[in-house]
A and B are shown apart, each in its own frame.
Chain A
Amino acid sequence: MDGCTPIRAPILHPAGPVALAERDLLFTAVFIMLVVLIPVFVMTFLFAWRYRASGGKGRYTPNWFYSGKIDALIWLVPAAIVVILACLLWSETHRLDPYRQLNAGTRPLEVEAVAQDWKWLFIYPEHGIASVNELAFPAGRPLSLKITSDTVMNSFFIPALGGQIYAMAGMQTRLNLLADRSGCFRGRNMQYSGDGFPDQHFAARALSAEAFEDWVAKARKSPERLDATSYRALAAPSRDHPVSYYSGVAPRLFDSIIAKYAGQHPE
């Protein structure tokens, strides 16, 4: 539907520095933990073999049940590993805070994302345009997303570019991503949200600067405009919504979507 050929395993082969750093943290942690894991595997098989009642070679010492040295070792080694991992965790969690603006020498592109049943609306305040189920942005330029939901809780995720964040009605979350090459990636809602959930994905297109300008121009040619009425029609539940564009957007639409949940019933 979205015309992308997705990367087979986007998390193993990321296309941006955020996802790459998150993946590397994962790999580093696996390596550190092998210090405990490998001994456990080896000891389990070795002991089961050596001390089997049916002819194992190992000595049998039924009254040996404590050694201060071993006890200390089995507390201290896991503790040491956890201390190392905790330091790593602390610095990386701050460095990879999704709210942190990325610095790539250029001003980030601001996009407002709205989760609806069962599609994604992207509003480009800078350009006054909007798109459904397609998020285009220039590669190499940071993408700064403001995210909310106009329905139940969703979770916004583009695996190739970086981790996810919840989209919640009446609230705004933020996500900062960067693609370091052009390409078309799969994005989706990760939080189950009802019948249309499986199809709730979108194309995330990292384009060259010129291609992005072309894309904006294409959107500007759309006959549709997003005002209160057309927004209501769009927000009604729908499945497999085709990619579509709006050449104009009512001012502060995103804020009004959040604001309508503060206080009263929305209609």
Chain B
Amino acid sequence: MEMRILGRLTAADALPLYSWVAIGGAVVTILGFLAIIGTITWLGKWRYVWTEWLTSLDHKRIGILYVMLALVMLLRGFVDAIMMRAQQAFALNSGGYLPPEHFDQIFSSHGTIMVFFMAMPFLTGLINIIVPQQIGARDVAFPFMNSVSLWLTAAGAGLVLISLVVGRFSTAGWTGYPPYSGAGYNPGVGVDYWIWAIQVSGIGSTLSGINFIVTILKRRAPGMKLMRMPLFCWTTLASSILMVFAFPALTVTTALLALDRIFDMHFFTNTDGGNLMNYINLFWIWGHPEVYILILPAFGIYSGVVSTFAAKRLFGYKSLVYATMAIALLSFTVWLHHFFTMGASAGVNAFFGVATMVIAVPTGVKVFDWLMTLFRGRITFHPSMLWTLGFIVTFTIGGMTGVLLALPPADYLMHNSTFLVAHFHNMLIPGALFGYLAGYMYWFPKAFGFTLDERWGKRAFWCWISGFYLAFMPLYMLGFMGMARRMERYDVAAWQPPLVIAALGAAVILAGIACLVIQLIASIRTRERRRDLTGDPWDGRTLEWLTASPPAPYNFAVLPQVRDIDALHEMKRRGAVYERPERYEDILLPRNTGAGVLIGGFAFVFGFSAVWHIWWAAAAALLALLAAAAARSFCDRTEFRLSASEIQQIEERRLRQLAGEEAL
């Protein structure tokens, strides 16, 4: 084999000349990138962006960057979705406007982006901003590792984005089942982009999981017993435990697939002793817990929102905690329901079917606990509350269709159909995304110091929820009509009307996304009117509302004393909030560092080079990455001291502000 300096990268292979639409996508991606770079340059803000944000180890800033990444990827993932909806609306007895080669990339990138680069960063971002504040901590346990996680995730997202410009993305779906994803059937770079994007970001997620577990176990304020933690902290703990145990399975599985592809090994090939069933089995050992990784944090957000906007303590706190942990545990016992149709014996299928249904019990308990919190409450319909109510109703429907799929004989009928697509969107959109959006609107003032416009928030909600029903209910029906998922075209005329309705639904969701954008812009414009001077705009009950909005870098000048589940509410009742402490002490805070960005950058170069088999560059990037990590570990000056007098200044200003508020 001839060795080439750029591996298998050639201009002919690299450019997306196979479809006009792909060329358009590449151009938009490049322009978007240039627009960001250009704006920062034009505003002359590079130094600010670098020193205050990119290199920051402050958990709140890292969290904000995560959420920004998630929102950008939500847009990209949604563009994919609406393109598929448009294709299927037209593709009766015709090729539509997308060639199969391109359509197949789009469903693969949509699924991959939504799961790994929208949902994961969104929840990780919200956890980062809020959990340390909710447990009364000054930062996460490992601030530097936090930054590494962020930049590894961003590197993975970068690999997916650049695949649209240089080369192509996988056509093997977000699940990448071999042997289709093997080198024999799929020799190009697409599957490699998929593999390295999730390798790189998957390591970031594992590190995040470790970080959050240690933070929650070790950094709680005095009196914050485990059984006093807000539900969001519990669901974060559960979700993080799942990340730590599940993600390595994905990392190993995709690494084995990479070995098959690069070194002609035979873990999952059709021949030479390989077996695709091993892949499917291993993939879902990660894959099922993953859906709970996505959904549990949203459950935590709903719990906080329900209690705050019903102005009432959460009903059945203990039940909710036990239900959360039960779900986390059980989520490792059900993975086989993703392949009931593989030919396992009736006993095996029945066992995993029953195990799956058992999860419905703690989930049902949670729903009723939220409802009982509303009962005899005093409900204000903040947009976050609307997302929550919409979630309760819609998610229950998704739960029901999930139990249907847990019945193996019913799954034999519905597996791989659009019914399944409808089901998992019915879980993930209300169950995860609505929760993140509720959290975004609820905690936005905490992160930025001003509230978001509620009218546009409500409009966004109504568009999303009605768009959701329009876009996905027809897919249940199409499942009954025998339509398979992942179809680029079809020849059954009866499928077209429901597909057109589904496309209209996607258009309504697009309006919902427009409302979100308008809400953000309008709120930034009117921010002076909507300042949150108290740090507690919703009469909150948990500790994150005790800090200023946005919080000082150290969150709490003096660590709070916790006496109750609704810690802040209890302090308010005692009249013990915003007290002036006797004295302030110096606080050590993590010093900013560019090492995280550097490590992420090297990971990106490594991934890109591995995709294109530019082995010298991959080796160099890997060495550089390890060297950067090693060099950082020799660095002694990782913290700086904020003196008591500086803290006093900041806190006095806040106390004056609060007093001024009260005087008004």
Q: What is A's interface to B at a CB cutoff of 8 Å?
A: 1, 6, 8-12, 19, 21-23, 25-26, 29-30, 33, 36-37, 40-41, 43-44, 47-48, 51-54, 56, 58-67, 70-71, 74-75, 77-79, 82, 85-86, 88-90, 92-94, 96-100, 151-153, 155, 157, 159, 162-166, 168-171, 173-174, 186, 188-195, 197-199, 261, 263-266
In the bound complex, do residue A194 and residue B180 qualify as a contact, i.e. CB atoms below 8 Å apart? yes
Q: What is the CB-to-nearest-CB distance from B563 to chain A, in angstroms, rounded to a whole number? A: 16
By beta carbon, the residue of chain B nearest A172 is: B343
A-facing residues in B442-495 (Cβ within 8 Å):
477, 479-482, 484-492, 494
> When chains A and B are docked, how far (Å) is the Cα of A74 from the Cα of B360?
12
A60 with B377: CB separation less than 8 A: yes
Quote the shortest CB–CB distance from A176 to chain B (angstroms): 12
Assess whether B358 is interfacial by the CB under 8 Å rule: yes
**Nearest CB in chain A to that of B349: its residue:** A93
Hey, which chain B residues are within 8 Å of A169, CB to CB?
179, 270
> Could you tell me if A90 and B350 are in contact, using CB atoms closer than 8 angstroms?
yes
> What are 10 contact pairs spanning A and B, CB under 8 A?
A11-B480, A30-B404, A40-B396, A44-B371, A51-B379, A58-B375, A62-B311, A164-B413, A195-B104, A197-B484
Query: Contact size class for B?
Result: 35 or more
A168 and B345 CA atoms in complex are apart in Å by: 16
Q: Does B6 contact A (CB under 8 A)?
A: no
A197 touches B271 (CB 8 A): no
Q: Are B358 and A152 in contact (CB under 8 A)?
A: no
Q: A47-B374, A65-B313 are in contact. Are A11 and B389 (CB under 8 A)?
A: no
Whether the Cβ atoms of B409 and A22 lie closer than 8 Å is yes
Q: Assess whether B376 is in contact with A64, with CB atoms less than 8 Å apart.
A: yes
| A52: contacting residue among B315, B372, B381, CB under 8 A | B381
Query: CB distance A265 to B369 under 8 Å?
Result: no
CB of B349 to closest CB in A, whole Å: 5
B376 contacts A60, C-beta separation under 8 Å: yes
- Given A44-B389, A51-B379, A198-B487, A265-B272 contact (CB < 8 Å): yes
Q: Is the CB of A93 within 8 A of B379?
A: no
Q: Which residues of B contact A164 (CB under 8 A)?
A: 341, 412-413, 415-416
A78 to B361: give the CA distance in the assembly, Å.
Answer: 5
* Complex Cα–Cα for A264 and B567 (A): 66
* B341 and A163 contact, CB distance less than 8 A: yes
B578 contacts A by Cβ under 8 Å? no
User: What separation, in Å, do the CA atoms of A61 and B312 have in the docked complex?
Assistant: 8
A93 touches B353 (CB 8 A): yes
Of A19, A53, A198, the contact of B489 (CB 8 Å cutoff): A198
Q: In the complex the two chains form, what is the Cα distance from A6 to B415 in whole Å? A: 20
Query: Cβ of A82 and Cβ of B357 under 8 Å apart?
Result: yes
Question: Are B357 and A163 touching (Cβ within 8 A)?
Answer: no
**Given A152-B180, A192-B486, A263 and B272 touching (CB < 8 A)?**
yes
Given contacts A21-B409, A75-B365, 12 further A-B contacts (CB under 8 A): A6-B492, A8-B481, A43-B374, A52-B379, A62-B378, A74-B369, A77-B364, A78-B361, A79-B361, A86-B353, A98-B412, A151-B185
Q: Do residues B409 and A62 form an inter-chain contact, with CB atoms below 8 A?
A: no
Which residues of chain A have C-beta atoms less than 8 A from B408's C-beta? 89, 93, 96
A195 CA to B186 CA, complexed, in Å:
12
> B271, B277, B311, B487: which has the most chain A beta carbons within 10 Å?
B271
Chain B residues in 8 Å Cβ range of A174: 343
CB distance from B327 to the nearest CB of A (A): 13
Instruction: Give B103 Cβ to nearest chain A Cβ, in Å.
Output: 9
In the assembled complex, B417 has its CB within 8 A of some CB on chain A: yes
